[in-house]
Each structure stands twice: as C-alpha cells, then as structure tokens.
Amino acid sequence: MITSTHVLRAKILVVDDLAPNVALLERMLRGSGYTHVSSTSDPTAVLELHRVNQYDLILLDLNMPVMDGFAVMEGLKTLEIAGYLPVLVITADPAQKLRALNAGARDFVSKPVELAELMIRVYNMIEVRLLHLESKLHYAQVLAEQKLSERLLRNVLPHAIAERLKGRHPGDDVTDVIADNFDDVTVLFADIVGFTHFSEGVSPKVLVDVLNDIFTRFDVIADARGLEKIKTIGDAYMAVAGLPTPAADHSARAAHMALDMMDAIERHNVGTEHKLKVRIGLSTGAVVAGVIGKRKFFYDVWGDTVNTASRMESQGVSGRIQLSEATRKQLTNSFSLEERGAIDVKGKGEMHTWFLNGRLGTAF
C-alpha cells in the first residue's frame, strides 16, 4: 500500500540549465516535505544520474542549450521498461506540451510555475510511479511463484499429466480422476536387500544419505533409459517403461535399466563400508495409470502386472533380476537370459520365471 510517507521519500531530480529555476524548484519541493531532492544544470548528465539513482520523478525543463528536454527523454527511454518515463516537463510554450506527452512524458507544468498546481502534479505522478513499480514487483513475484509451482508439478508428475492438469479451467473439479489404460508396459520393482538390518546399525543421517545417493543414481538411469519413475517406498523403487507415452521397446528399456541399476549399486559400494545389493523384478502387461484422490496428488499405476512385478522382486534372489514369462517373451536376443523354472508365487500360484544376466553383442 502506497502512503504519503512513501511519496514524500521518493527520489526527485530537478533538471534546468538556469540556476535560479533550480533553486526555486528545490526550495518548493523541500518545503512541501520531500526529503530526497537533487538537481543538475547539465542535461547530458541526466541519463547517467538516473541509471545510478533510479529517480521516481524527474522535473525536466524542455528548453535547454546543447541538449533539449526531448533528447533527454529519448535517452531515458533506454533505461525504462515499456516506455514508462517518470518525467514531468516544464515549458512556457503551449505547442510543446502535446509533443512532450507524445515523447513519453507523463505530465506537464506551464511556466511561470504555480506552486499549488506543481505540488499536486508532483504528488500524483509519484504516487502513480510507485504503484507502477509495486505492480511490477508483484507481477514478477507471481511469475516466479508460478514457475516454481510448475517445476514442482513437473517434478512430481509426468510432463504429459502435468500439462493436462494445467489445462483444466478454473471452474473444473481438480479432484476429477485421471486414469488411462495401457495395454502393454513393463513394470520394474527394486528393493535393497537387508536394508532393515543395515538401518539398525547406522545413524538416521547416514541412512538418508545412502538412500538419496542410490535413488538419485536410479533416477538418472530412468531418465536416460526413458522410464517413468513412479515412487519410492522406504528402500523400494518403482518405475515403468511404456507410459505415459507408449513405447514399442518398453521391455528392452526396463531390462537395460535393471542391468544399469546393478552396475550403479556396485559403483555406490566402491569406497564405502556398506556393501549393498538389490533385488529386481520385472513383469509386462496391461495397467491403469493416473492420478486419484483429493489431496497430495501423485501419479500411480495399478493392475495385475504391477502385482506380478512386485512378486518377481520379493520372491527373487539377492543381486539378481527376475523376469516374468511375459517380459521374457518380449525381449530380443540382445539379452542373456537364464531359465529359473517354475516357482510358487504368493497369491498367483505357480509361474515360470527367468533371470536376466546381461547384454549380448552391441546391446546397450
């Protein structure tokens, strides 16, 4: 809120080549309560003075030798946004008034100067100037907050989903379900083996640092391999290949990520006393993915394929990658696979599974 105190503290520059005029204007302004009044008789110095001091108002005489007021205003335009010049021109020539306004001046006063008129125009101009600056500041703050919100939104949700949420109109119900069917994706689950036991022997800070390092490595791999990270729960990590943008090679992408994750754990273990291992499971099939609920939105995936992938991980082997038969069928000869055979999968009965051992040839 702009008050009279703000107005009277505004910075004012008086520009006139005649010293008596300068002295008169300074005396009038200071007598009215303005505390930051300066002056110059050199119109060529105005541009630099304004660049340094950013005046809220410039009282500018139009008729000066060497450089008239119009030339001064042209120079000032290079320092002002959207052509806003905090200039109140003073002239004895009525024909110059319209020209001055067209040149960017905000207002004018006729010579000889009448005190009451000058003070009213000065006050009004400064008030408008301060409101203008305040609105620009608020606008910049709104833009910064909007950009931050968008970055956070895109960090929490897939880009395509974030754009759909942004595209909703103000009157739309933000709790409307977003749920899309995907007929063919590959779900990946990873779990750090023995993490509960590991966490009992370290401080909370070490625990968080280790998880952050490992999951950050996994995030980088997911971005590089084109998977969508879904979530982390404790020491478990979930990602999906083939959504929200479908990809024909989703199974290969997930297989590459799983192998990269094994390498990432080995790199993490180098130089640390904590020798950790991961257990990874993959399964392929149909899912539903989207955003549900009313608060703390996040993108999630549901379906039997998700449950199967979770079982492939939980009933896998430490330091190995277990695949369902559905994933194995979609992988090409670019990968080295080992048949594990039939295992009894909790909640699903007997299933034929495979281990992913590595890449073949030039697969990368």
Owner of token pair 């302004």: 29
Q: What DSSP assignment string belongs to 46-61?
A: HHHHHHHH--SEEEEE
How many helices (H) and strands (E) would you count in the chain? 12, 13
Bond before 112 cis per omega within 30 degrees: yes
Asked if 297 and 277 touch (Cβ cutoff 8 Å), the reply is: no
Q: Based on the number of CB atoms within 10 Å of its own CB, is 293 exposed (0-12), middle (13-18) or buried (19 or more)?
A: exposed
What structural domains and CATH numbers belong to the chain?
A: 4-134 (3.40.50.2300), 173-359 (3.30.70.1230)
Among 209, 147, 182, residue whose Cα is nearest residue 288 = 182
For the chain, 364 residues long, the average pLDDT of each consecutive 10-residue run is: 85 91 89 91 91 90 87 84 74 82 82 83 86 75 68 65 62 64 96 86 87 93 94 92 94 96 92 86 95 74 94 95 96 91 89 94 66
The amino acid sitting at 44 is T
Give how far Cα 60 sits from Cα of 5, 7, 111, 121, 178, Å. 24, 19, 12, 13, 61
- SS3 label, residue 40: strand
Are 349 and 307 in contact, with CB atoms under 8 Å apart? Answer: no
By the 8 A CB rule, do 90 and 113 touch? yes
> Would strands 236-241 and 57-61 be described as parallel, antiparallel, or unpaired?
unpaired
Q: How far is CA 356 from the centre of its chain?
A: 38
What is the pLDDT at residue 218? Answer: 96
Q: List helix spans (H) across the chain.
A: 4-8, 19-31, 46-53, 69-76, 94-102, 115-156, 159-166, 195-200, 204-225, 250-269, 304-314, 325-330
Strand-pairing partners, residue 248, are none
CB-neighbour burial class of residue 328 (10 A; exposed 0-12, middle 13-18, buried 19+) = buried
The pLDDT, as a whole number, for residue 363 is 62
Task: Check: CB of residue 259 under 8 Å from CB of residue 360.
Answer: no
Q: Which residues contact 107 (CB under 8 A, 6 or more apart)?
A: 88, 89, 121, 124, 125
- Contacts for 279 with CB less than 8 Å, ≥ 6 apart: 190, 191, 193, 313, 314, 316, 317, 318, 319, 320, 322
CB 357, CB 337: distance < 8 Å: yes
Q: Which two tokens stand for residue 263?
A: 């390498």
Contact 160, 245 (CB under 8 A): yes
Task: With beta carbons less than 8 A apart as the criterion, state whether 277 and 235 touch.
Answer: no
Residue 102's pLDDT is 83
> What does the block give as tokens for 240?
């999906």
Within 13 Å, how many C-alpha atoms sit on residue 104's CB side?
A: 21
Which pLDDT value is given to residue 298?
78
Residue tagged 């660049």 (tokens): 51
So what's the pLDDT on residue 81?
56
* Beta-strand relationship, 178-192 and 236-241: antiparallel
